[in-house]
Amino acid sequence: MTSAAARPAAPAGWLAGCDPTVLLGVVVALPVVLGRTFDARPLAVLWVLALVAAASLARVPARRLVASQLAFVWFGLSLLAVNAVSRDGEVLASWAGLEVTDHGLAVGAALAVRTLLVGAGAVAFWHATDPERLLGSLHQVARLPVRVSCAMLAAYRLLDDLPAEWATVRRGQAARDPHRVRDGRVAPGRGPADVGRAAFTLLATSVRRAERVAVALETRALGALPRARRTVLVRAGVGRRDAVLVAVVAATLVGVLLVPAW
C-alpha cells in the first residue's frame, strides 16, 4: 500500500496551474489519437518529450520518474514479445518453434513505446494534480453530478487512510500476543494467518466507515438542491494556461506525426 506521503504536499510546476479536467483530458486523448500509429520512431520522440515535460513542467523527481517508467517497461516488453511472434511478415529469426517477423517486431515496438508514453503522461498528471482539486474541477467543469463527485471524494479519503489503518490493526493484533512484544516494541507477525486476520479486520472496519460516511452524506441531503443554488469553496474554470497547454500538445502531435510524412 502507498500513503499520502508519496504525493507532494503542494503540487508544483507549470502543469499544476492548469485545470485538472483539461489536463486529464489531454492525458486520456493522447493514446486515443495515437491509437493507429504503429511507427515507433515518432512515438519515441513523443515519449522523450513527455519525459522532459514531466521533469520540467510537473517537477517530477528523476528517481520517481525512472521508477514509474520501470513499472511500464515490463508490460511494454510483453507487448513486444507477443506481437513479434504472433503477426505475419518476413521471418527474421526462429526459436523453439516461434518465428519473429519484421512486421510483428515493428508493431510490438510501437506498442511498447506507446505504453511508456502513456506511463510518462500518467505520472506527470498524478504528480501535478491535487485529488480534491481534481474532483472539484470534474464537478464544475466536466459537470459531474454532485452525488458522484462527493462519493468519489469520500472514497479517496477512505483509501488515503488505509495505510495508517493497516499499521494500527497490525500493531493492535501483535500487542495482544505476548510473544510479539520484544524490549517494549511490537513486532507484527508476517505469516499468512497473521496477514489474513489483519486484512479481514481492515475490510470490516472500512465497510463500517463507508457506511457511516454514506449515512452522513444522505443525512445532509446530498444532491437535493439544484445546481444553481449550490455553492463551492474553490472555484474551477478553464483559463488561458489551459488553452496554451492544448495548443502546444496539438502542435507537437502534428509536428511529430505529420511533418515527416509530408
For the chain, the first-to-last Cα distance in angstroms comes to 49
Q: Are residues 152 and 129 in the same domain?
A: no
Please work out, in degrees rounded to the nearest 5, the angle formed at the alpha carbon of residue 54 by the alpha carbons of 52 and 57: 90
The reply to whether 117 falls in a domain is: yes
The reply to whether 216 falls in a domain is: yes
Q: Are residues 181 and 129 in the same domain?
A: no
Q: Are residues 45 and 21 in the same domain?
A: yes
Q: Are residues 117 and 39 in the same domain?
A: yes
Q: Are residues 150 and 200 in the same domain?
A: yes
The reply to whether 218 falls in a domain is: yes
pLDDT over threshold 70, residue 33: yes
Q: Are residues 122 and 249 in the same domain?
A: yes
The CA-atom distances, in angstroms, between 113 and each of 25, 30, 50, 129 are 21, 13, 12, 24
pLDDT at residue 1, as a whole number: 43
C-alpha cell at 161: 487512510
pLDDT at residue 244, as a whole number: 93
> Exposed, middle or buried: residue 251 (CB in 10 Å: 0-12, 13-18, 19+)?
exposed
pLDDT in tens, 118-168: 999 999 998 888 888 888 888 888 888 877 877 887 887 888 888 888 888
Q: Are residues 252 and 214 in the same domain?
A: no
Domain of residue 184 covers 144-229
The reply to whether 262 falls in a domain is: no
For the chain, the residue count is 262
The reply to whether 13 falls in a domain is: yes
The reply to whether 66 falls in a domain is: yes
pLDDT in tens, 202-257: 899 888 888 888 888 777 766 666 655 567 777 777 889 999 999 999 999 988 88
Q: Are residues 82 and 130 in the same domain?
A: yes
Q: Are residues 110 and 151 in the same domain?
A: no
Q: How many domains does the chain have?
A: 2
The reply to whether 95 falls in a domain is: yes
Query: Who's near 130: CB < 8 A, 6+ residues apart?
Result: 10, 11, 20
Q: Are residues 42 and 154 in the same domain?
A: no
pLDDT at residue 29, as a whole number: 92
